[in-house]
Amino acid sequence: MWYYKLANLLFAFAAEKEVGTIASTQNSLLDCDLFGMLSQSAMDVYFYVCDLVNGRSRWSAVAVEEFDLKDEYMEASDWMWLCRIHPEDQNKFVKNLEQMMLGQTDDVHHCEYRIRNRSGQYVWIRSRGVLRRDAAGNPASFAVVLRNMGLSPKYDSTTNLYTIHEFRSRLYETLSRPEQSGGILLFDIDDFSRINGSHDYAFGNQVLRAFAEKLLAMHLPGYLFRMDGDKFAYWMDEAEPEDLEIVFSRYSTAATELRVGEEEIPLVLTGGYVLYPADGNRAEDLHRRLEVAMNTAKRTAPGSLCAYSEEMYRDEQRLNALRSAIHQAVHHSFEGFSLQYQPQLNSKTGVCTAAEAILNWSSGDYPNVTHEELMAALEDSGDILTVGRWALEHAMNQVRQWQLLVPNFGISMDISSRQIIQKSFLESVCQMAVQYELQPNTLCLELNNGCYAAGDRHLSDLTRILRSHDIMVALDGFSPEWFSLEMLRKLNPRWVKLSSDFAGDAADAANPALPALLALFHQLGVHVCIKGIASVPQDQLAKRAGADFVQGSLYTVPLSADEFFEKYLDRQWVCEH
């Protein structure tokens, strides 16, 4: 590795000035021109060389600066350095050097430890050194290269797995040896924020620790890393695709059976993998392609494993470009943004008494962006906060104009988790409802599945405060997987929206599942709207099951405000007048 090569280079350079004695080589090692040049190296790489015969050493200028050493040249610096090493790492450091000096290991030094810098912080150091002996075999000179790894430790304190920093370091070292081959699997825990939200972060850490212990107990022939957040990586030398698929399958099975104390915490994993050098031979490229493979799996097939492909990379590039274009549009007075409206029809009378306001965006370069793509881009960039307020204001202004003609007409809008966790969200929504003089209980905020991450208490407080201001709440895309009946009782929403896919699970008209579920909602005083209806059988099933309202492309695609009024409200206004 380059650490050892650099240390040996110092010896070789000094040897050119040798005049026949070991002592002269040692002196030239401390004073050689190469050391002087390297002394002004990058700020996170340091050098020192030791004359072990007379106890003198020389340290690079950046090391003197970073670790507040007395001078570049020092006597008996070993004790000075040891005092700066973290007490928990001192024994490891001393033992490593003793074994090398006594000839119990090769004449190379390889150790990682924490050391105190001039600011009083302990940073991690990767130390690599080469020992030279005299003719009698006694230690004579020692050259060391130090790499500052920052505050990040080698092992993650929560899971005791290798850290992402260690992953990157090993990736660089492995790919520097072109003969190496293998595979890397990157996976994360789907919707892990739900656990933090429903419990707390301390419990979330317990889950991560228990999960890591369960995986380590399987003793699979590879290396396991804790990456960012709830991401993990598995690395296996000389791996084939089927090897990584087997590992992922075993990890996924273990995840579904996880227990923390007496509580069952089933987890779902989604992942992607790359092979090297087939999928790349540069560390940055390989790591990025791992992320692309996993993100593709999360977007297209949650709970599964995807192998990286160039097509994925092209799709990811398109999405990145789309995010950038949308971000630019937001900061150019919301250029290309608009609201469209889809009716929510009374299932018994067919009358439209409310509409869902749906955010839309298009441009010349991106004429067919789906609502899902748009919302994902806004969530990723954080622009959802700015655009969300813009959309709410426009929707309230529009429904207020309609209410002047058709009293008590309602409007609903999808709200994201990023919006509801903002401290100012509640206040701004309530103020806007007053500003636009909306009639009571005609504004409904639809909380999507991601909102459960905010936690039961926050959602309960949110719905309570909104109700006190005559603003309704709907759980959009209700599923027992996300919202338990206990949570339903706590939140006490006015509405629940079920996907037509949910209704489709009971496509047999004799199946009592859907009618029974809707009857339960009605007993709790909750109205039900089934959305996404695209066929007559779905319409018939929803109405037989007892849905209060229906919504979907079977009735109409989302319309502009003028088109919507002409088709659904103009006739009501004429009839009433």
Percent of the chain past pLDDT 90, that is, above it, reads: 35
Omega cis (within 30) before 178? no
Q: So what's the pLDDT on residue 284?
A: 85
d(CA 137, CA 103): 9
Domain with CATH 3.30.70.270 in the chain: 164-308
For residues 272 and 306, the answer to whether their CB atoms sit within 8 Å is yes
The 10s digit of each residue's pLDDT in 205-248 is 899 999 999 999 998 988 999 998 899 999 999 999 999 999 99
Burial of 515 (0-12, 13-18, 19+ CB in 10 A): middle
The per-residue pLDDT for 274 is 95
Every domain of the chain with CATH number 3.20.20.450 lies at: 319-576
Six-digit token pair at 339?
């609201």
Indicate the helix (H) or strand (E) that contains 266. none
CA distance 540 to 543: 5
Give, as one character, the DSSP assignment of residue 298: H
In CATH terms, 164-308 corresponds, of 3.30.565.10, 3.40.120.10, 3.30.310.50, 3.30.70.270, to 3.30.70.270
Sign of the alpha-carbon torsion through 377, 379, 381, 386:
positive
**Is 448 a residue whose pLDDT tops 80?**
no
Instruction: Say yes or no to pLDDT of 2 above 60.
Output: no
**CB under 8 Å to 346, separation ≥6 — which residues?**
352, 353, 548, 549
Q: Give the start-end residues of each E strand in 31-107.
A: 45-51, 56-59, 73-75
Q: Give the pLDDT confidence score for residue 440 in this predicted structure.
A: 94
Categorize the per-residue pLDDT at 19 as very low, low, confident or very high, splitting at 50, 70 and 90.
Answer: very low
Place of tokens 């060389």: 49
pTM of the model: 0.59
CATH superfamily of 319-576: EAL domain (3.20.20.450)
Sequential DSSP letters for 313-341: HHHHHHHHHHHHHHHHHHTTTTTTEEEEE
Query: Per-residue confidence at 420, pLDDT binned at 50, 70, 90?
Result: confident
Q: What is the predicted pLDDT for the residue at 155? A: 79
Summarize pLDDT for 472-521 with one digit per residue, the tens.
999 887 665 555 666 777 788 889 998 877 655 444 555 567 888 889 88
Interval 277-329: pLDDT, tens: 999 888 888 999 999 999 888 877 888 999 999 888 888 788 888 888 999 99
**Of the candidate ranges 15-19, 151-155, 168-172, the one whose mean pLDDT is the lowest:** 15-19
Rounded mean pLDDT, 449-474:
82
The predicted-structure confidence for 371-412, as pLDDT tens digits, reads as follows: 888 887 887 778 898 999 999 999 999 999 999 999 999 999
Q: Provide the pLDDT confidence category of residue 177 given band limits of 50, 70 and 90.
A: confident
Between 3.30.465.10, 3.30.450.20, 3.40.50.1240, 3.40.50.10490, what CATH number should domain 2-150 receive?
A: 3.30.450.20
Cα 362 from Cα 329, distance rounded (Å): 10
Question: Which residue reads 């960012």 in tokens?
Answer: 228
Query: In which band, very low, low, confident or very high, does the pLDDT at 102 lie, cut at 50, 70 and 90?
Result: confident
Comparison of pLDDT for 354 and 155, the residue scoring more: 354
* DSSP 8-state class, residue 25: H
* Burial readout 366-392 (b: 16 or more C-beta within 10 A, e: otherwise): beebeeebbbbbbbebebbbebbbbbb
| 39, pLDDT greater than 90 | no
In order of 45, 129, 232, 538, 555, the CA distances from 145 in angstroms are 7, 6, 30, 70, 72
Looking at the chain, the domain(s) classified CATH 3.30.450.20 span 2-150
Confidence class of residue 197 from pLDDT cuts 50, 70 and 90? low
pLDDT for 477 equals 73
What is the amino acid identity at position 498? L
Query: Is the distance from CB of 29 to CB of 51 less than 8 angstroms?
Result: yes
What DSSP element (H or E) covers 446? strand 443-447
